[in-house]
């Protein structure tokens, strides 16, 4: 809202969080979608190639903003330094949603934060892995930003309560103080060592694969995405929870995401690795494929109406099966990770159906 206006173009990655879509709807800005590379074997989005950002800027010289999500929910890292240089070349501000990289600024053993790589504005959801209370996050405006902080503050006042929670604000500062402290640094070092220990153990488990740097892209070592041959992620999640009492961060049709957190002990990861060894060597049955269900939206939106116009248009609720060929009037995004399956103004196709198994009806623009 502070950076765009109605009809202005925003170059934004397809796998952005649903909150970014809300900003587009309120401001009336029009998205120019950039699809990250696809990691098809894992059914997830990968890094955003700088060349795609430059191509989008060349084709849309009137673009007012570039929005990048980095890292992805699964920890894949993009080349923000190069993307930032391209944005500066075209004199367009760069906003980086670094929600899942809030620990990066506190350790040289993790990827470098966009704050140090030339981004104009960076978002950190410190509540995800940094220890602050749920709902609390930070919005940073860099020192040499093209963005005027006063403009951001005015936009914030349009949405922000006049009675902010001092508990949430205090928890942000407390988390920051802990992470900068000697004990916090010790915890973070331990977390990274534990993540490396787990990854080393996983490398030696037959029939198990993990997403990591040697696949050709950079990743955050503390986010461990795994899959086991013959098992869907949902089936693996249920086995871990029911048979071993282990809860993972999330599961998809392909694999499960494990977060190595500040509060975990080495024994936690030893137990997890032992459990995964038993599962990989076991004879577990899986009929999850019969549900024809998918989790990570991997479709490029076919936008036939502006987000704002579709959201405020006259609507009707119809059966999901009757919605093919109609225009969506709502945001549908499952959390985690909050990436949209459908957004207002998007043409609904048969390809959407495997992602919508839990929905009987959809809200569409009335004919």
Angle (deg, nearest 10), helices 266-281 and 182-203: 20
Q: Where are the domains of the chain?
A: 9-179, 184-290, 307-365
Question: Residue 90: what pLDDT?
Answer: 97
**Tokens 């405020």, residue?**
312
DSSP conformation class of 15: T
Per DSSP bridges, beta strands 9-13 and 30-34 are parallel
Question: Residue 288: what pLDDT?
Answer: 72
Q: What is d(CA 345, CA 364) in angstroms, rounded to the nearest whole number?
A: 9
Cβ neighbours of residue 39 under 8 Å, at least 6 residues apart?
A: 45, 46, 76, 211, 215, 217
184-290, what's its fold?
3.90.1150
Q: What angle do CA 234, 291, 249 make, to 5 degrees?
A: 20
The SS3 assignment for 204 reads: coil
Phi, psi of 165 (to 5 degrees): -80, 115
Q: What is d(CA 25, CA 85) in angstroms, rounded to the nearest whole number?
A: 28
Question: Residue 268: what pLDDT?
Answer: 98
Question: Residue 290: what pLDDT?
Answer: 66
**Neighbouring C-beta atoms of residue 51, cutoff 10 Å:** 11
Q: What is the 3-state secondary structure (H, E, C) of 23-52?
A: HHHHHCCEEEEECCCEECCCCEECCCCHHH
Q: Model-level pTM? A: 0.93
Angle (deg, nearest 10), helices 50-59 and 80-89: 20
The reply to whether 184-290 shares the fold of 9-179 is no
Q: What is d(CA 329, CA 348) in angstroms, rounded to the nearest whole number?
A: 10
Question: Residue 194: what pLDDT?
Answer: 97
Helix segments in 216-257, DSSP class H: 233-244
**Tokens 């509060």, residue?**
263
Cβ atoms of residues 336 and 250 within 8 Å? yes
Q: Which CATH architecture has domain 9-179?
A: 3-Layer(aba) Sandwich (3.40)
Question: Residue 178: what pLDDT?
Answer: 97
Q: Which CATH architecture has domain 307-365?
A: Alpha-Beta Complex (3.90)
Q: Where are the beta strands (DSSP E) in the chain?
A: 9-13, 30-34, 38-39, 44-45, 65-69, 76-77, 94-97, 121-124, 138-141, 208-210, 218-219, 223-228, 250-251, 256-259, 315-319, 332-334, 339-342, 361-365
Residue length of the chain? 367
Per DSSP bridges, beta strands 339-342 and 315-319 are unpaired
Instruction: Give Rg (Cα) of the chain.
Output: 21
Question: Residue 215: what pLDDT?
Answer: 63
Cα dihedral sign, 165-171-174-179: negative
Q: What is d(CA 276, CA 226) in angstroms, rounded to the nearest whole number?
A: 10
User: pLDDT averaged over consecutive 10-residue blocks of the chain (367 residues)?
Assistant: 86 94 91 92 93 98 96 96 98 97 96 96 95 94 92 88 92 97 97 97 96 80 96 94 96 94 96 97 81 80 92 96 96 90 95 92 96
């Amino acid at each position: 809202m502070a950076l765009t206006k109605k009809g202005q173009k925003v170059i934004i990655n397809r796998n952005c969080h649903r909150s970014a879509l809300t900003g587009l709807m309120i401001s009336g800005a029009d998205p120019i979608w950039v699809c990250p590379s696809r990691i098809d074997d894992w059914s997830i989005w990968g890094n955003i190639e700088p060349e795609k950002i430059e191509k989008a800027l060349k084709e849309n010289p009137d673009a007012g903003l570039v929005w990048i999500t980095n890292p992805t929910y699964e920890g894949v890292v993009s080349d923000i330094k190069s993307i930032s240089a391209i944005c500066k070349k075209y004199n367009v501000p760069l906003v980086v949603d670094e929600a899942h990289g809030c620990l990066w600024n506190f350790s040289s053993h993790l990827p470098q934060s966009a704050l140090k790589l030339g981004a104009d504005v960076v978002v950190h959801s410190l509540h995800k892995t940094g220890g602050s209370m749920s709902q609390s996050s930070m919005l940073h405006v860099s020192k040499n930003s093209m963005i005027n902080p006063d403009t951001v503050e005015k936009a914030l006042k349009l949405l922000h309560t006049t009675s902010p929670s001092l508990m949430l604000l205090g928890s942000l500062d407390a988390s920051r103080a802990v992470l900068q402290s000697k004990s916090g640094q010790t915890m973070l070092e331990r977390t990274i060592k534990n993540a490396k220990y787990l990854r080393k153990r996983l490398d030696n488990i037959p029939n198990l694969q993990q997403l990591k740097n040697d696949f050709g892209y950079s990743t955050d070592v503390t986010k461990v995405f795994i899959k086991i041959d013959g098992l869907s992620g949902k089936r693996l999640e249920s086995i871990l929870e029911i048979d071993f009492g282990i809860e993972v961060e999330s599961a998809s049709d392909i694999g499960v995401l494990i977060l190595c957190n500040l509060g975990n002990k080495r024994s936690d990861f030893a137990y997890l690795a032992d459990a995964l060894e038993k599962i990989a060597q076991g004879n577990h049955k899986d009929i999850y494929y019969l549900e024809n269900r998918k989790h990570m939206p991997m479709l490029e939106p076919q936008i036939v109406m502006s987000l704002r116009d579709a959201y405020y248009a006259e609507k009707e609720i119809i059966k999901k099966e009757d919605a093919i060929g109609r225009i969506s009037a709502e945001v549908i995004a499952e959390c985690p990770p909050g990436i949209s399956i459908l957004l207002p103004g998007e043409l609904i196709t048969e390809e959407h159906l495997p992602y919508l198994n839990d929905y009987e009806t959809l809200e569409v623009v009335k004919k």
